[in-house]
Amino acid sequence: MVGVGVSLLVRFSKVQLAGGVSGQQFIKCPDFELVEGATVLIKGDSGSGKGLILRTAVGLYRNYKGLVERRKVLSAFVFADGGLQTNLSVEKNILLPLIFSGLDYPEAEKMCYAALQNFDLLSVADQISGTLSKDLVKLVQYARADALKPKLVCIEEPYAEMDLRRQDMIDAWLKHFTSYRKGGLLISTSLPRKMRFLSPKLISLSKKSPNKTIIN
Tell me what percent of the chain is helix, strand and coil, each rounded to the nearest 5: 35, 25, 40
For residues 38-48, average pLDDT: 89
DSSP alpha helix (H) spans, 1-69: 50-57
Computed over every residue of the chain, the mean pLDDT equals 90
CB atoms inside a 10 Å sphere around CB 66: 15
d(CA 17, CA 212): 9
| pLDDT tens digits for range 67-125 | 999 999 999 999 998 999 999 999 999 999 999 999 999 999 999 999 999 999 999 99
d(CA 183, CA 155): 13
Alpha carbon 208 to its chain centroid, in Å, reads 25
What percent of the chain lies above the pLDDT cut of 70? 90
Is residue 214's pLDDT more than 50? Answer: no
**Can you give the pLDDT at residue 49?**
87
| pLDDT tens digits for range 46-71 | 778 899 999 999 999 999 999 999 99
**Can you give the pLDDT at residue 7?**
93
**Can you give the pLDDT at residue 23?**
55
| pLDDT tens digits for range 118-174 | 999 999 999 999 999 999 999 999 999 999 999 999 999 999 889 999 999 999 999
CB of 50 closer than 8 Å to CB of 205? yes
d(CA 100, CA 139): 21
